[in-house]
Amino acid sequence: MAEIVKINDDTWRFEDDSVRFFLLCGKDKAALVDSGMNTPNAREMAEKLTDLPLILINTHADPDHISGNGAFKEVYMSPAEEENYRHFGGKGTILPVKEGDVIDLGGRSLQIIDIPGHTPGSIAILDEKYRVLISGDSVEDGNIFMFGHGRDIDLYIKSMKHLTDYDGRYDEVYAMHGTIPVKPDILPKLIEGAEAIRQGRASATKVNVFGNEVNLYKFSYAGFLCDI
């Protein structure tokens, strides 16, 4: 069962072992952002915190982010993520979102930013009211999974550079893994690290992750798990 931590009067985080997800409330609607790894009752837990109509948004569809999706008929997600979502058994109708779309919760608008790379349809969400960027798994200080089907480090670098267009519009980053919050100055470091990996300038150690032998590139600010 996920542990609930209140961030402010209309924001909560749910700590679900090594992953987290969020409940954001506006005046008219509430949004669950992801639904965890071991929390099939995420909806029920969220509805104990708010009476507002509840929508679900996924930053991406890796299995540690969709455990409670089954309680929703519809989910906002990038259409580029659908294959990944269905592969992991994801159900329901996908309500497609893309760069520039705004989901208005009533006095709290959530702007969608496309950041493919970690997965084909990864998105970040800019919560303008609180000047927070919800970054999924793409901007974090833990180990970012970049090996296996659908991961693309070149696209990741491009997306992280695109994200710099939003510099100055948020003060904190809420990631789904690692420390919360992290400071926005991690973004240029991640770009530098990913470019160093891509250009063969970084050194790795071999580690085993879920039966896969992969390269861990560990920097002072974060790590990347890669098959290159």
Task: Report the interface residues with Zn ion, using CB under 5 A.
Answer: 62, 64, 137
- The residue (of 52 and 113) whose beta carbon lies closer to Zn ion is 113
- Give least dist CB 201 to Zn ion, A: 27
Q: Quick one: 56 or 105, whose CB is closer to Zn ion?
A: 56
Q: With beta carbons less than 8 A apart as the criterion, state whether 75 and 69 touch.
A: yes
Q: Which is nearer to Zn ion, 114 or 137 (CB)?
A: 137
Rank residues 64 and 141 by Cβ distance to Zn ion and give the closer one. Answer: 64
**Side-by-side strand order, sheet with 172-174:** 102-104, 109-114, 123-127, 132-134, 172-174
CB of 185 to Zn ion, least distance (A): 22
Nearer to Zn ion, 10 or 114 (CB): 114
Minimum distance from residue 26 beta carbon to Zn ion (Å): 26
* Cβ contact 151:145 at 8 Å: yes
| Block residue for tokens 């296996």 | 148
What distance in Å separates the CA atoms of residue 70 and residue 178, rounded to the nearest whole number? 26
Evaluate whether 193 touches 138 at the Cβ level (below 8 Å): no
* Closest distance of CB 194 from Zn ion, Å: 17
C-beta of 203 vs 212, nearer to Zn ion: 212
The nearest distance, CB 121 to Zn ion, in angstroms, is 14
Region for residue 211 given its phi and psi (left: phi exceeds 0; alpha: psi -120 to 50; beta: otherwise): left
Shortest approach of Zn ion to residue 21 CB, angstroms? 10
β strands within the chain, DSSP E: 3-8, 11-16, 19-25, 30-33, 54-57, 74-77, 93-96, 102-104, 109-114, 123-127, 132-134, 143-146, 172-174, 205-209, 212-218, 223-226
Of 11 and 122, which has the nearer Cβ to Zn ion? Answer: 122
In whole angstroms, how close is the CB of 117 to Zn ion at the nearest point?
14
CA nearest 169: which of 222, 139, 125, 114? 125
DSSP 198: H
> Residue 143 forms beta bridges with which residues?
223
